Chains A and B, each alone.
Chain A
Amino acid sequence: MLAAFASGGMYAQPEVTTREITKLSPHASVVLDRNCPDVVQPFTLTDNAASLALFSAKEALSDISNAFLKDPAGFLSGKRKLAAPSTDKLSASARLAAKQLNWLPMTAEVAYGQRQHEEETEVLARDSRLGRQHYPVADRMLQEILAAVGQPHDYRFQLFILKSSSRNAVARPGGFLYIDQGLIDDPVQWPKAYFAIAHEVGHVLQRHETKELQSNAIDAIESKTDLMNVVTNTRIDPNLLLNYVKVQKGRFTKYHVDQELQADSCAVRLLSRALPDATALAAAVDAFVADLPRPQEVQTNTQSSLADAGKLARSVQEVVDSPLKRHPSNQERVQNLRSIRAEIRAGERAR
């Protein structure tokens, strides 16, 4: 759990905002509150290096006290000496702490998203005949949803329609959103389109993909000096960070169940503000649920046969590379949606 330190606290410095890191997780993508109480993940942390330094200092102090407590007589007799407070080697806990901070500057995030965007070949051109027909509809939906965010954020969202008759949507870092034309060209699909766009906006504002990027960068950094270097200098030179990540491996597309559920919750929160009434909200959520792919419809990587060693090897590789790549089950999603809608209704009644 990240807890903001009030200014004037024990570690507070003038004009330095730090966050105390009290809980570590092996994954940057751990969701602390699935119900999406804040649609926008705090991003105003301007001095993450200070937070990290604070964590490292506390960790070093803790190491010293632990050593002392293990053998107080040894230290008091002078037989044992206190070790230097820290080495340059990056500890596992410092690495985990860094994963929880939102220190990636917007310029780096946008550059990363832009790089992925340039590889997207199926974007419907805005100036094409179909583009002129469909973009106004999609743009209006996005505008309505963004108007409901109600909190400041640094994103400049860009929506693209993909030349696909499917009914899916994608968010990439930096505010790049994609929606299949199949959700826009048929008015029957518009309630689901609202949900889809709101869900993807939720992913971006929660910085889900960005945290994965940070996580991968941190995994590639070996020393504290390098880590502090990256954390403090990415603002000046985003490429410094991008040099650390293995963009081509596509390892940032891990679908974390909790993040998906959180994005669903964010979508419901946003739509409860963006849509005119409860009936429209129910229609959007119900359209999404009704169109969820049934388990037998979902594409799997189990097509390899034992006779085909090449395919089998590829499947194994996919499992190794993407151990967390899955969406929640339909049942999990429905239960989560039910829960968040109940919470919103209760909040409205209380007002």
Chain B
Amino acid sequence: MRRLTLFLALAGACMPAMAQRCQGLLEAKATAPSAVQALVTALHGSDAACGSIKVIVDRMLNRKRTGGRRLEDDRPFDEPKAQANLEAALREPAVRARIDQGRKDITDETALLAYEAAVFDEEGFYGARDLRVQQLQQRVQ
């Protein structure tokens, strides 16, 4: 119950500024495994944007995009490229500062990975984000 309350509090905290982008968090509550719910809860109060948390939750739940005509087949995850993207992200002072702050504030390693993934998403370092999501998926399995 406490977890549910925190979850709803997080969704509520995101609104109204990010209301539209955070709608999916409430939906995630119904279907997400408790580990994912716990991560979302842990990010409550962090400076990660709601929209980015939602992206991480969706990716962790392996939600596939629905419908549509794709230009070409999707490529599999390219880990070396993602690693290089992570290094590039950490060379950016603004990103580095947020990550360092997170490492100070968040003690739980899994929650920290989720936080970093959300920050990389917000800052446009998607390879780094996907690397963190992959690590998260391995942890919560």
Contact = CB atoms under 8 A, between A and B. Distances in A.
Interface residues of A, number: 40
A116 B75 contact: no
A341 interface: no
A182 B126 CA distance: 9
B73 interface: yes
A121 B24 contact: yes
Interface in A230-257: 250, 252-253, 255
A209 B69 contact: yes
B95 to A, nearest CB: 12
Nearest to A333: B72
Nearest to A183: B71
Interface in B66-105: 66-76, 85
Most A C-beta atoms less than 10 A away, residue of B21, B65, B67, B74: B67
Interface in A156-172: 163-166, 168-172
B67 A250 contact: yes
A300 to B, nearest CB: 9
A253 B54 contact: no
Nearest to A112: B67
A120 B65 contact: yes
Nearest to B71: A169
Contacts of A109: none
Contact of A327 (B51, B65, B72, B76): B72
A299 interface: yes
A165 B55 contact: no
Contacts, number: 88
Contact of A130 (B67, B72, B74, B124): B124
A269 interface: no
Contacts of A170: 65, 68-71
Contacts of A56: none
Contacts of B21: 125
A121 B58 contact: yes
B48 to A, nearest CB: 14
Contacts of A48: none
B121 A203 contact: no
A98 interface: no
B2 interface: no
A286 B126 CA distance: 26
A142 interface: no
Interface string B45-61: 00000010011001000
Nearest to B65: A120
A259 B67 CA distance: 15
Given A196-B71, A199-B71, A252-B67, 6 more contacts: A163-B55, A166-B75, A172-B67, A181-B124, A253-B67, A293-B73
